Structure 1
């Protein structure tokens, strides 16, 4: 079992490499992955079920212990990223299909990868977990509402249908995972250790399916979308960090909030695009590229912050 755990840890640490590798393969042999598009919502449901199995009531204690920090993190999540998405769409005058996709990923809650990245960055991991948990639970209500307000100028949106989708692929699997963990307790520990690897495989396959399905559009608009996504992600980190510092949060908390804001649950964006905008493959592309990009930028930022923390501590000892 220890060998498997080491293998799982290796795959998680090299997550960005696998996403890039399989995205490249999907561009060369798209037919190998396109068929997976029909199973995207199921794969996301499995990821969320795994998240539910790893969650405990302790994850929500951060809300009680640091209500101010959690509130700032969650508000920043649902204000900064949607606001930035809308602003970028207006500044770059993006075509409707791309604009809808950019705003959709901007309205999604924080991604679970943010917890790992915060830990790597030597930030407040407990705060990151609390923010992810709260924003994910609020997502069925806030994501459709904010998306409706910002994107309805481009397309007619059925916010209630989107709410139902998020309940089905996010909230229901999480609560099911929580129930299984509560009822079976120690019996599920072995399965919990497998879930991070399952999540990595599912996200890699989701990205590959969208990349393969959108090969023609990538060669036509891929650089534009990558540029907008990279800017969206970087500004999310920056504004999330300064929002936290503005409200006098400690440095470790500010790092957690920055990463929480900058890293989105892009898999949800892909799933919602597949369900609600299937006639427009380009709409799912910003979410897929965001998934690819933030798994490169996140570890890079974490490495910088971890090094900076070590330098700061060294300086303080002299």
Structure 2
């Protein structure tokens, strides 16, 4: 009952968190993404092309059963989401870039996810059924991400003192939401947790770690700044596993509980690996400060 209540209330809680993120953003933050598009272009390339290729290689290397292989490919094809924005906010990433990438990926997934999943089912499953993607989930993601952020930005523009006053409570709420989500997932999966991790855990962990590193490393390689690369790392490494589970379990979609298993395990693992990744990248000797109540200092490149 508690898990059901948390699941029902989570979109609203994430909406409040996204409003808090909007309190720290200005229009110029988004314009900066356009002026320095390297990180955005690199992240989109990783999300759409590089990750599915890496995931396919790992699936073959770990010799996953067909249904689990398709399930992990489904995770690779799923977009980032509000949780990626939240981690970026907590660890000093360029949140405006996260919001932009989440919005773009949530639209592109209508095309990219069916391609990846249909190719995967054709390869791993004899006569695998094709899957299309309803726009309802896409609209839900965009609503949770964009509308609260826009409201927060409006408050900052019209009442900056109120925005500064709300900044600390918003950060505390962000951490609280993370703790509740992690606790709920662990509690809900407590009975079959060992079996789930035993069957698909190593492949999920490897894919998650590689995703975080690729998401950070590729933008840095093409000359993006640390904050932009950090945002891209979280966006690439933290997938919308709820979205993936919906596709796997949907009666009009894949309708296969075993295919949802990689998303369940990934949804647990990513909270911890992302926290470790955030700690790692914030220990850099030279990093850009995150200023409250001002536009962050722009990093060259």
TM score, norm. by length of structure 1:
0.67
Which residue of 38, 62, 75 corresponds with 2:45?
75
Q: Which residue of structure 2 lines up, in the alignment, with residue 102 of structure 1? A: 72
Extract unaligned runs of 5+ from structure 2: 290-301
Once the two structures are TM-superposed, the CA of residue 220 in structure 1 deviates from its matched residue by 3.6
| Shift in CA distance, 163/206, structure 1 to aligned 2, threshold 3 Å | farther
| Shift in CA distance, 254/198, structure 1 to aligned 2, threshold 3 Å | closer
Q: Which residue of structure 2 lines up, in the alignment, with residue 157 of structure 1? A: 130
1:102-123 Cα distance to aligned partner (Å, 9 max, x none)? 1111111123232343344444
Alignment of 1:1-318 (within 5 A): 33=3, 36=4, 46=12, 58=27, 60-153=30-123, 154=125, 155-159=128-132, 162-167=133-138, 169-171=140-142, 193=170, 196=174, 200=178, 203-204=181-182, 207=185, 211=189, 215-216=191-192, 218-276=193-251, 279-309=255-285
Q: Give the distance between the partners of 2:186 and 2:87, measured in 1 at CA.
A: 22
Counterpart secondary structure, 1:307: coil
| Shift in CA distance, 124/168, structure 1 to aligned 2, threshold 3 Å | closer
Extract unaligned runs of 5+ from structure 1: 1-30, 314-318
Counterpart secondary structure, 2:285: helix
RMSD: 4.0
Which 4+ residue blocks in structure 1 deviate beyond 6 angstroms? 178-187
Q: Give the distance between the partners of 1:62 and 1:312, measured in 2 at CA.
A: 15
Contact 1:44/1:271 (CA < 8 Å) preserved in 2? Answer: no
Once the two structures are TM-superposed, the CA of residue 243 in structure 1 deviates from its matched residue by 1.6
Contact 1:44/1:267 (CA < 8 Å) preserved in 2? Answer: no
Q: Give the distance between the partners of 1:312 and 1:51, measured in 2 at CA.
A: 23
Once the two structures are TM-superposed, the CA of residue 233 in structure 1 deviates from its matched residue by 0.9
User: Greater share of helix residues, 1 or 2?
Assistant: 1
TM score, norm. by length of structure 2:
0.70
Deviates more, 1:49-58 or 1:241-250: 49-58
